[in-house]
Amino acid sequence: MQKETYADAFTKGGPWVFCILEKDQKTFSYFRRFAQCFETGASCLEVDNTIQAEEMAAHLAANNLSPGDTAAKLDWVARNGHSFRNYLNTIKLVYVLCKATGKDPLLLDEEAFTTLEDRVNGLRDCLTTMYE
């Protein structure tokens, strides 16, 4: 079975609520932001929305679209919103695994994160049975 990457999920979406995570700095930085949020009791929804707004702004800039272009924003949400939320859900699942294994998520380095990420990615057969 070919593994789906974040880019695949981001492009085509799917009925599931998780995706395969890529090993990149952006995913690790999002994990760090969520870990900080969960460990301090801050609003996770605010972190979710901020990250999604940043991704949308980057998309608009990369395509020379105005930040005020409402139609372009709605198009981005329609095409990418669901898959991007799946991506963020999967990062949160890595956080859960981190906590379940007794590791301090705030002290997790990128190498240890990648190990946990591999474990979550290895659960693809189970994760794809979870639907909205």
CA distances from 114 to 54, 90, 93, 98 (A): 23, 13, 13, 11
100 located within any domain? yes
Domain limits for position 69: 24-127
91 located within any domain? yes
Q: What is the pTM assigned to this prediction?
A: 0.82
As a residue count, the chain comes to: 132
14 located within any domain? no
86 located within any domain? yes
Question: Mean pLDDT over residues 112-116, rounded?
Answer: 94
pLDDT tens for 65-108 read 999 999 999 999 999 888 898 899 999 999 999 999 999 999 99
Contact 11, 82 (CB under 8 A): no
pLDDT tens for 13-56 read 455 678 888 889 999 999 999 999 999 999 899 999 999 999 99
Contact 62, 72 (CB under 8 A): no
How many domains, the chain?
1
